[in-house]
Each structure stands twice: as C-alpha cells, then as structure tokens.
Structure 1
C-alpha cells in the first residue's frame, strides 16, 4: 500500500512538472544550433567535443558547448552570421565560416579526423575532472588520481564517491554490500571477488562507473546498484603506450605495461603486469562472560597478528578489427595468476572473574593460496547508421581455480585444512537498439549465464584423520536466462525510459559428502522507470524506480567452516533464498561555471534480506585449547563458548537516505570533489534455532539505526608544477541488532611531478597516514536457554599504513589523453545498449 501511495505521489509530481513545461517560460529571441560530432573512421560519437561560436573574423566566443555521450550538441545563440568551430583533443578541428543563422539550425554530422602530429607532441590541452557527475551515474577517471599509483582496484574503488571498501576488501555502495561488480560491462567471474580486485593493478583501469539505479538493460542482480570497472584500451593511431614501475613499504613492488598499436582497420592492445605485495594487519577481541545472574564469569583476550604476502601476474591481449566502416569485432584474452602466503597468529589469554590471569594458549595458521583465472571475450558491434541503430553480441568463456591450504597448530592441537575450488562460466548476450525518431528509441536483448562451481573442503587432524563434521564437497550450478525490452522518448523537456526484464533462474546446491541435494527454481519480472526534466541547460531533475534482486553466492552459500579461530567461527548457509529490492530515487543536478552539485533522496525496500547472526554452538574450548561438547559427566565449567556466525534470510530491511556530491574548482590549479551520504536502516525479523539441548530458541533481531558517510578529495598544483592530492574519509557509527560498529576515519595523500618533458611522472603516496583505518565494534550475545551472556569489543585492521613510490613513462601518448568514443562504445561491454534519450 505504501508503494502505491509513493507511486501516486510521483505521478502527481511529474504531472505538475509536465504542465509547467507545456506552458513554458517566456519566449526569447534566441535560436538553437544543433548537430552531432563523430570520429571520421569509426563513425562513432565523440563525447566532450567543444563547439565555439564567434562573430566572423573575431576570436571572442559568443556561445558554445560540449557534446553528450551520443556526440550531440545544442547551443543557443541570437540570429546572425557566425563562424562555428568544432574541436576535440588530438583531432583536427573543423570550422564553418560565415554561416547565417536565422532560425533553429541543424548542422548535421561533423566528422573529425585524428591529428597524428598532435599525438606525437605530448601536449596537454585539457584535463578531465577526476569525478564526473551525471544525472544517472557518477564516472571516476582513474588516470587523474595519484592516490592509487602502484595500488590495486580495491584502492581505486575506495576513492570513488558513494563507494567504500572495508578492511577485508568487501565493497559497498551507499553503505550496502548488496551490489553487482562488472568489468567492462560483464559480471566478474572470479570466485572470490574481493580478493580478485586486490590482484588487479590500478594502472590497468581507465574509469569506474557507479550506477545506483540501473535500467532493465542491466542484470537485475545487485539490490543497491552496479559498479562498472572499465579497463584501458588505447585508441591513438600508431604505436603508443605506458610503462609503470613502483615500490613501497611494507615490502611492495611491481611493474606494468600498457601497449597499443592501431592502424586504420586493426587495433592491437595489451596489458601486462607483475606485482609483489605485503600486507601487515592485526586485531583483537576482548570478551567478558556473564553468568545467568549477570555476575562476571571470566574474561578472554584474543590478540591477532597477521602478515600476508602475494605475488601475482596479470595479462590482457586483444585485437579490435574494423571489418567495415560500421562493423567492429573485438577479441581478447585475460589471464591472472597469483600465489600467496598467510601467517596468522592468535594468542588467547584467560582471566577469572577478578581478572586474574589463569592461563594462555595460541593458534597459528600458516597458509598458502594459489589462484588462476583465464577468460576469453568476444564483442561484435554492427552499426546500421550513424543515428544509434545497432546490434551488439557478446561471448565470455572463463575458468577460475582457487586453492588454499593451511596448517593450523595450537598449544595442544593440530589441524590441516584444504580448500580447492574450480569454477567454469559461459555468458552469451545480444542487444538491439532502434531509434524511432528524434529523441526516442527502442531496445531489446537476451542474456544467458551458465556457471558451475565445485568446492572441496577438507579438515584433518595431526594423524591425518578427516573431520567428517566440518569437511564437505559443494557442487553449485547456476543457469540464468534473461530477456529485456525498454523504450525511451522525449517530450519537450521531459525524457522517459520504461523497461521490463524477465529472468529465469535454476540453481542446484549439492553437498556430495552427505547426499544433500537442493534445487532452487524461480523467475521474476523486473520493471524499471526513469523520468527526467530539463529545468535549464545547467540543471535537471530525475526520478526513477527499479526492482532488483540479490542471489546468495560464494561464502554465503558454502557450508565450509572458517576454522582460523576456534572460538569465533563462520559458516555459510546453502539454504539461503534470494532477496528482492524495490528502489526509488529522486535526483537533482545543477552546474555552474566552477561547481557541479548533485543530490538525491533514495528509498530501498528489501524482502528476505541477508543478515549475519551469531549463535552459541554448545561447544566450548577447554583450558588446553581443544574444542569439546560438555556433557553431564564432563561439564567443562571453565570452557570458553564457541560462537558461530552465519547468514540467514532475516526478513525485511528498509533504507531511506540522502546523498550529496559536489565538484568545485575554486582556482584553475585547484579541484575539490566531495561526497556525503546519510541514511536510516530499519530491519525487522527474527532467527529461530535449536540449541544443543534440543530447546527451540527465538532471537529478536529488530533494529533501527542512522549512520553517515563522508569523503572529500582535493587536488592542488603547487609551485614547480608539483601536484598534491589529499583525501579523507569517515564512516559514522552504526548500531546493529547484536551490537554496534564504531566510527572510522582515514586520510591519504600523494605528490606527483612530471619530468622528461612531460613524458614521465614520478608519484609518491601514503595510504592511511595516521594508521587509523581500523574496524572497531561491540557485540552483545545471550544464550536464551542458560541466560548466560557475553560482551565483546573487537578491532580488525586488514592493512596498516603504506608508502608507495611510482614512475610512469609514456610514449606517443598525451598525458591526459582520454579514450575516444571509437569502436566499440561498450568495449566488450556485456550489459551495453543505448543511452538515455535526450
């Protein structure tokens, strides 16, 4: 009922705007000059081309503008005779002399050719903002960010507005980790996405797109939105490229190269990189245990020290072939290989009720990992004309392996764990875009995703005997077929986009060791609607709705027990169901000469939301460090309770928030961008479980909390052309159903200097200057059967402060060369399609 009222309110609001638009503002004496700017060879639109209108034989610009993603421009000018100039960086400009403009005039298509002389001069003519704010998404241009030099994709994402990365590498958008991560428009095929993002170097990334409310052309998965990571691929004629070398403290070093060779019909591109990284982290958990009468029973202090090393290689090579002036075929192979070692030492110190030390034990986890990812992608684009009529087809085939082995030793025990995973994935997609007139277009498409994951998890004791309770073999098969259609059109200053997507899902979750076979089949319709109103050339208003879905994957589904701690353990839940989210978003954007401001109010209503719950297992860790189950004959009065954390479908989550993003250029040499997000989350639901004595226990997990997130980034050019960048981020405190997460602050800085006639750049950055990026939390847990309880304070730091120095060398490539929108626009773009009309 609330959703219907909300929809009615939106309709009334839109109708009011529409009536105003029909009446229109007072007429003036200006006319419009319109047209399109394309790349001459590929016939693809050029975004950010500059249009300047001057009086004949005069250099003073009377009016001007830039092209949109479709290459279109729209400039208002008084009737008269003018010279019109069209320019784009590294392209030959075009001039139209003495053109008489008496009424609205369409100049048609202006084709620009690349200027080989400019490409070899390495001249900086323009610099794109680090963050571009658009009505339907935010675009973060990685090349301008010194903070991430020598870093990884995780570092890149941690600088993107609305996005944050926690200490374990998990990515969240607007405070929610219920998102979908794409690479070149395709879902990441990695088994462990967080780890895969830490393996891919930042130097391989061109830009990141953040789409908080995707349309029907995108996968329905990702309740809070999409993050699309676009890889580099050169567009300049001839041979060009970039070499980067870096080193850092703690011990880190790496080298990478991006090479490109382009002729009139063929473009060869390749990226290769090697890196060795050391991450030093740690944490603690201090727990106080209470008896049923609330008196103190004892204390346990856990101290963790972690050191991870990783050695990795990544490579990407491909060919883009211009089969015909309007047909493009791109084939690429991506390869990643990494090996790593982990040393995780936990010391346990026990105290009695008077906090008198009673004993100590330890747990040492020595592990190694080995992963290999191979993916072949193919993308074909057929442009039927230069008005956006096109057909695209995509194919992706991948195989990923992820193996890890650990020897877990303690004061009195010894275990060996083996976790081997193999995943195979095939994706097929076709998209068709048909313009139906000025400002309107029709889209339709199909996507098939077929995956198979086999996970063998084995735990043995010091005698090599298998632990049947904790070991298992998981077989996960997922087949998804989807079709979509959407139609967009423009009426006066209103733009509309309505879409519908249908997805059919067939999932098998099989536990082979105990012959437990589960099949989940479901299909859903996912409608979407977007309406925008152009208040003026500098400001716009938008409203949108979409239905989204989140499927449980990875560690959420895998029942394998994380055995790194024998007191606090984690286990996946293979019986999880998907969650469905209704998303509403109202946005406003305003541009001034030096400022771009974007704000939005959003509401998300999620059913069957995933939530982690902590419950007592009934087992305890005795004074010798062994996990045992107390019995009347062996009560183990001084044992430490073993707590299990696992995901469940909790119930309903409602989130309401406001977000503000601001780009400000106070001076030509100084740019500031900032992002602020505040939201309230209300969760309702309960968890029912049976304890070790057969009692049915119901946990009330209702919770409501308000929290906020803020980031500010400043880039200033100092004397001697030294660039200085400084950023700060703060995550506010948030209450949870079983405790609270405390606020967290971090600050980064970087300096860079161009050398060798601007062909090279030296950059130095410090990540987490104050070593303050630590996740702190309080947890309260009660055993509803015995009424015993415990309170814990925990700290976790995945990575301590780091220093990094990098050297970049470019040849035949301008420092700030932006990727031309040549073929294809959605390079390997999987979820591509047309643009929002208007």
Structure 2
C-alpha cells in the first residue's frame, strides 16, 4: 500500500530559508537572533518525534526558518524577533497552525497536535519506499565576512581531492605545482574546521591537499578580508575547510570508490550514528595515485666571458621529469554530546599516513667556458666554449605520519543568548625522507668526467598546541559583543644529512648541506569586537592584539658557530565592517583589516636542499614579517535565479618578501642559481573581483567568476653591495585577469553534466614575465539505485594545457622555465548513500529535509 505524503510547502520554505537567510540576511547584518525552544506532543501528552516545525515571519520572509524535533519531540531554533505563523506537520497527525509573537529567547512550551484519522485504519508507519526530495542550496553564497562554496554540486571534482575542489572555488587559484593563491597572493592561511591542522602535514604542499578526499568536505569558507576574530596571519586571507559531521538521527553514511588514470584508486567512507544526545561519527579512507610532472628550463648568461672563470655556463638547458607513486590513509573519529540542554561536548582524533616514492631524471646540456688555468692573467685569458652533457637521476621515498586530538566545550549562559566556547588541540606530524642521486657529469675544475653518488636523509618533527576561548554576549535585539583569547605553540625540528662519493670512492659528508635546526614559535592573541545594526545600517568594529615570540637555532656540521634567531614583537590588527541594506535583495559592504605574513620556518633557516644541485634555495635569518592593509567595497544581489557579488579591493603591503636570485659555481665548477627570500620594498594590488550565479532554466545553472586586477611593485635588493651586477630590481606594474566559468546541465532528474573553463592572463614585472594559461574540465553524473547511488565521470585538463611558463631576466642572466605538475587525468567514481537501517525508523528518515534531488547529502551549516 502506498500513500502520497504532500510536503511541498515544507520544502519550499526550507529552500527559501537556505537560499535567502544564509545568503542575503547574514550578509546584511540581520537582526540579532534569539534562541527559541519547545516540544511537540499528542493529546496524551506523549512526545511526537521528527515533526516538522516551520516558523514563517509575517513581516519579512527572509527571517523564516524550519527545523525537526528530536526523538523526544523537542526542538530549538535561533530566530529574528518578530511575529510568526508556526506550522507543525508530522506523519499520522493533522497539520496544525498557530501564531506567536517572539521578542526574546524563550521556551514556547508544549504544542499539542491531533492524530490523523485513516480510511483504512493503517498507520503510515507501515509505508515503505516513499522518497522525499527538495532543491539543493546554491553552490556559492555570500555571508557578511566570508564566501561559502558547496562542493557537493561540483561534478568535475567528484571522486577527487581537496586540490581538485579548490580549483573550482571562486577567488581561489591553484597553480600547476599545487600552490594555492587568493587574488594572486600565495600567502593563504589554511584551517581545518576552524583551526590549523596536522592533516596538512609539515610543508607538504600539494601532497597534503591531495590526501583529503573531496567526499569528506562539507563546505569551504573563503575569507578574503578576515575580521579581528580570526588570526591575523595570511595576507591573502583564510581558507577554512569544513569536514562532514552528520547529525542525522540513527545510522547514516556514504561510501565512495574511485578509479582513474594516471592510475588513481580511492575508497572513502563517512559514517555517523545518533541516538538521543550522543552523535558518533567516523570518516576515513585511503588511496593510491601516480603523478608525472615535467620541468624544463633554459639559462643564458649576459656576462662578459672574458672575465669569468673556467667552467661557467654561458648557456644551460635542463629537461627534467619526475614520476611518483603516492599512498595515503586517513581516519577521523569523534563524538558530539549534549551534556545538558545548554552545554555540548565534542571530541575527536585524527590519524593520517602519507607515503611517497619518486623517481626524477634531469638532463643538463651546458655550453661552458674553457680556459687555460696555467696561463698568466687567468681568468682574463682567451677562451673557447665546449658542449657538456650531464645526467642526474634521483630516487627517493618519504613517509609522513600525523596525529591530532581535539576537545571542545560550548556552554550557553542564561536565556539571552550568551555563549562560552572553549577548545584545545594537540597535533603532531613526523616526516622521514631518504633519497639517492646519481650524476654522470663533468668536473670542470679537474677537467675530467665524474660519477657522483649522493645519499640524502631528511627528518622533521612538528608539534602544535592550540588553546582558545570565545565569549558572545547579545545586547538587545540587534547588537552583540564578542571577545576571546588564543594561544598557538609551534615547535619544529629538522635534521638534514648529505654525503657524497665520486667515481666509486669512499663517501664523505657534505658539511654545507648537513644541519640540525630547532624552530619555535609562540603566538598569544586576544580580540574584542562589537557589532550592531541601526535600521538599514550595520557595523562591526574589532581589534586584535598578537604577541609573537620566535626562536631559531641552526647549526651546520663542522661549523664552530651556531646561527640563532630571536624575534619578539607585539602588533595590533584592527578591522572595520560596514553594511547598508538598499532593500531586501541588495546590500553594500565596506570593510578594512590589517594582516601579517610571518615568514615560514623554512624561510628563516639558512640551509639548502640538495635535491636539485643546480637550483639551491636558502633561508634568510634576517627576514621580517610583511604587513598589509586591506580594503574592500562589495555589493551583493540575491534573487531566486541570480546572485551577483562584485567586490572592489585594494591592498598595500610593507616589507614585501621577494625572491632574490644570483648565479655562481658549485664544487664541480657548474653554474648554479641561488635563491633567497628578502624584504624588498612594497607591493600594491587592486582590482575587481566578480562572482555570480545564474539559473536561466531548471536544467541549466551558470556560475562564473572574474578577477580583473592591477599590481605595482617597488623595491630593490643587492646581497653584494660592491657588485652592481648583483643588484636586483623588483619594481614593475601591470594589469592581468583570472577568469572561471562553470555550466551545469541537468537534462533529466537523475543526469547532470558540467563543463568548467579557467583562464589566467599574463603577468609581467621588470624582471619576471609569466605567460597566460588556460584549462578546460568536464564532468558527468548519473543518479542510480533509487537515489541512493551516484556514478560520476570527469576529465581534468581536457586539452592538456595546464602548465606554467615563466621568464626571469636581470642584469646578469635570463632563465626560462616550463612546469607541468600533472598531465591530463580522468576518473570514474561510484558512491552509495545509506541512512538509518532500522525499518521501524524509516518514516523518521523520510522527514530529512537536507537531501537534494540527486540524493546528495548537502550537510549544510545549521540555520
């Protein structure tokens, strides 16, 4: 027997709440909400679980919202004060409507609803197979201090990882080597669930991004101009990755498997179980993939060869490839416990393992100077040029293990909305690397061919301790005061060892590349901010203070002296956010914040990696932080089919970090490019960042973004003041673009196609010229198994064009480089979603209003 349950009104109201309340209302500094609680009972005063309770604001539909009662018939919901029509609907009960004036936080008591009479006398608890679906939220929405991206609607990234998802996020750019930038700035601060996380390892870069499956990501918060509540580091802004934590009743979850080329395999699962006040969840999985990168470069010297020593390369061409095999496993498990009606405890642990095996090969074609060293007046003697070939093979392994434990407690105080939140986190990440390089080359100093063997051992151990407390105090109906303290402790240990043997002789340690480093950084911070709204005008004022204490101890082997760096500074970071409601669908935003870019630990340590002995990077102990003042003026239009969010921005930095490069000779007399970060002048960025969505038809959705930006760099640096040829000018200005367009087509209720294109324009300064780049991706998905399964297929970089081309030119040389991190890839994934397995609970499951038309669990944020 099948009965049709009409709940279209609930779905429409829920969709309205998700689309407008989370988008326009939060952006416009909507009035301060109050917490409303109550209970739904029958005539026998027994609880009615899983009833739908809808609050419709009679003055402004934007303030409407809906919720479900728990298994004890209770509900709670934050609402804007006003007059509401309350509608209660539940299976086997009549629809009930009443009116309430809500002015402050309160318990509305028990609402009694009447049982529905049945013609057959059979209750609907016997019905099976009823599926209720609703329209999903938009993939992109704007809130007052951030932009939120929902990857569940991203077909191109299905079966992928965090790096694939970030490539489609508005205002975010992922380079060919996995480097993430926001509006062209790579100083991005990554957070996992609102805090730093060892899931991203120690300086793992793209490897860490690839180890977090897309299926485990609930949403990504893009915070381009953070308020004082957020930590001040990250001049580009903050990317907050929110992982899934289901709060659905009963046993729920999903499993997803992926197969792809170059080959890729991945299996992930998200499981949760909720009963009463306890929710337990576990997310985990693992994968294997291969990567194949290409690196080519050409070096040309502008120096007078008559004055150069024997062996210097007038021209050098490098062709390199790197193939790697990666295995990663991760598991996160935790609980959410409602200790009382006003207090909640959450605890979780995370384990992550990442293993990498790589083989890299580089061929060098050098055109070197040959002179008679015995001639009088050397090196100013006649010369000839000789072609020379060198082959370098590098084979290595790297293992990383990470652990993280988090504990949090939230306590509501009184009935006026006060909230105290406490959180602590312990994180540890260890990496061990071992590689062997074999080089068949030529010793220009001895004028003989050589066979060189190097063993390179690396160890790193990173420990982080985080503790923070936040307090919220509502003041009246439209104001709130927030304050908090935070401590971040970070300790890194690095051990680097290199030995070398020539022509099968005994190995000897290279003291310049063998070192032991200790890095400690402690940041103590406190903030306070106040926000309010006067009619259509909203404002938020904040101030954050951060005291930074850094200690670095670095020692090379056989070096009698130890390099010590001690830095301690107290800085203040104000923020101002202003908003004005033009009408219910149009808002203006103006904001300002001051940010800091603290040098990474590697940038302060003066040691050099030996993986590529022709390109050596060294840290700079004298490096200072970069400070930035950031301004934004934004507009937001939100309607049923259109969202439009243009933002004008202006950023000015002080003590900008630039990469100083110069050429020299290594121990074999081969030309080497040395790179070191330095503080050199200032940088100005300004532009128009446009993000928009348009749904012309139910079967066609468009999402586009464009960043039209200008830049101006000022500054110069010379590591060797007495040599004008080593003076480097970082000045320059120009204009460039970044464009992204995504079209999603849904020809049937169960089939979707998506095509996504990306373009990054050329960018030039006095010494650096970067060529434009574009890429096109394609995805398709089909819902199967009555909405419980999805099969998806995607191709990344269809035309194999995603590569970086760059030319550096200065007074002494030019260097062209080409890099493709990963060629064209394709994959197919299969996912299955299951909800509470007990058939007695099926009707409760059917009231889940968070599922969309394709069966995907949106896992959206609470209203």
TM-score normalized with structure 1 length:
0.83
Aligned to 1:801: 824
Cα gap change, 1:540 to 1:759, in 2 (>3 Å):
same
Query: 368-377 vs 187-196, which deviates more?
Result: 187-196
State yes or no: 1:619 paired with 2:665.
Answer: yes
Shift of 1:602: 0.8
> Over residues 743-790 of structure 1, what are the superposed CA-to-partner deviations in whole Å (9 max), with x where a residue is unaligned?
1101111111011111110001111111111001112133xxxxxx33
- SS of structure 1 residue aligned to 2:170: coil
- SS of structure 2 residue aligned to 1:469: helix
Aligned to 1:401: 430
Aligned to 1:542: 589
Matches of residues 771-810 of structure 1 in structure 2 within 5 Å?
Answer: 771-782=800-811, 789-810=812-833
State yes or no: 1:366 paired with 2:395.
Answer: yes
Structure 2's unaligned 5+ residue stretches are 1-29, 41-51, 68-76, 112-123, 370-383, 441-450, 837-850
Aligned mate of 1:817, from 857, 860, 863: 857
Shift of 1:151: 1.5
Aligned to 1:142: 151
State yes or no: 1:659 paired with 2:689.
Answer: yes
State yes or no: 1:742 paired with 2:785.
Answer: no
Matches of residues 482-521 of structure 1 in structure 2 within 5 Å?
Answer: 482-513=525-556, 514-521=561-568
Aligned to 2:297: 285
State yes or no: 1:159 paired with 2:165.
Answer: no
Shift of 1:543: 0.6
> Over residues 642-671 of structure 1, what are the superposed CA-to-partner deviations in whole Å (9 max), with x where a residue is unaligned?
111121111211111111110111111211
Cα gap change, 1:471 to 1:121, in 2 (>3 Å):
farther
Shift of 1:142: 1.6
Tell me the distance in 1 between the aligned counterparts of 2:809 and 2:174.
25
Aligned mate of 1:445, from 475, 484, 502: 484
Contact 2:87 2:98 in 1 (8 A): no
Shift of 1:116: 10
Aligned mate of 2:454, from 415, 418, 422: 415
Shift of 1:457: 1.0
Tell me the distance in 1 between the aligned counterparts of 2:858 and 2:824.
32
Shift of 1:556: 2.2
Shift of 1:74: 8.3
Tell me the distance in 2 between the aligned counterparts of 1:212 and 1:497.
16
Contact 1:680 1:707 in 2 (8 A): yes
Matches of residues 407-806 of structure 1 in structure 2 within 5 Å?
Answer: 407-411=436-440, 412-462=451-501, 463-513=506-556, 514-616=561-663, 618-619=664-665, 627-628=667-668, 640-690=670-720, 697-719=726-748, 721-782=750-811, 789-806=812-829
Shift of 1:404: 1.4
Aligned to 2:288: 276
Tell me the distance in 2 between the aligned counterparts of 1:609 and 1:62.
48
Cα gap change, 1:211 to 1:720, in 2 (>3 Å):
closer
Shift of 1:816: 3.4
TM-score normalized with structure 2 length:
0.80
Aligned to 1:347: 363
Tell me the distance in 2 between the aligned counterparts of 1:588 and 1:117.
51
Structure 1's unaligned 5+ residue stretches are 1-31, 43-47, 55-60, 77-81, 621-626, 630-639, 783-788, 826-838
State yes or no: 1:191 paired with 2:202.
Answer: yes
Cα gap change, 1:548 to 1:86, in 2 (>3 Å):
farther
Tell me the distance in 2 between the aligned counterparts of 1:778 and 1:486.
46
Cα gap change, 1:801 to 1:223, in 2 (>3 Å):
same
Cα gap change, 1:118 to 1:697, in 2 (>3 Å):
farther
Contact 1:51 1:86 in 2 (8 A): no
Contact 1:326 1:382 in 2 (8 A): yes
Contact 2:292 2:324 in 1 (8 A): yes
Cα gap change, 1:99 to 1:173, in 2 (>3 Å):
same
- SS of structure 2 residue aligned to 1:217: coil
> Over residues 483-509 of structure 1, what are the superposed CA-to-partner deviations in whole Å (9 max), with x where a residue is unaligned?
111111111111111011111110001
Contact 2:235 2:628 in 1 (8 A): yes
Aligned mate of 1:248, from 239, 260, 272: 260
Tell me the distance in 2 between the aligned counterparts of 1:117 and 1:804.
41
Contact 2:587 2:637 in 1 (8 A): yes
Shift of 1:810: 0.5
Contact 2:32 2:474 in 1 (8 A): no
Matches of residues 171-320 of structure 1 in structure 2 within 5 Å?
Answer: 171-189=180-198, 190-194=201-205, 195-292=207-304, 298-320=314-336
Query: 718-727 vs 436-445, which deviates more?
Result: 718-727
Contact 1:220 1:547 in 2 (8 A): yes
Contact 2:218 2:860 in 1 (8 A): no
Tell me the distance in 2 between the aligned counterparts of 1:396 and 1:297.
52
Q: Tell me which structure has the larger Cα radius of gyration.
A: 2
Tell me the distance in 1 between the aligned counterparts of 2:344 and 2:406.
14
Contact 1:50 1:65 in 2 (8 A): no
Shift of 1:237: 0.3
Tell me the distance in 1 between the aligned counterparts of 2:827 and 2:136.
24
Shift of 1:300: 2.2
Shift of 1:612: 1.3
- SS of structure 2 residue aligned to 1:423: strand
Shift of 1:36: 6.5
Aligned to 1:128: 137
> Over residues 681-736 of structure 1, what are the superposed CA-to-partner deviations in whole Å (9 max), with x where a residue is unaligned?
21111112128x98894322212122111111111112473110111111111113
- SS of structure 1 residue aligned to 2:719: strand
Q: How many residues are matched?
A: 747
Tell me the distance in 2 between the aligned counterparts of 1:367 and 1:521.
38
Aligned to 2:7: none
Cα gap change, 1:386 to 1:602, in 2 (>3 Å):
farther
Contact 2:774 2:801 in 1 (8 A): yes
Cα gap change, 1:549 to 1:100, in 2 (>3 Å):
closer
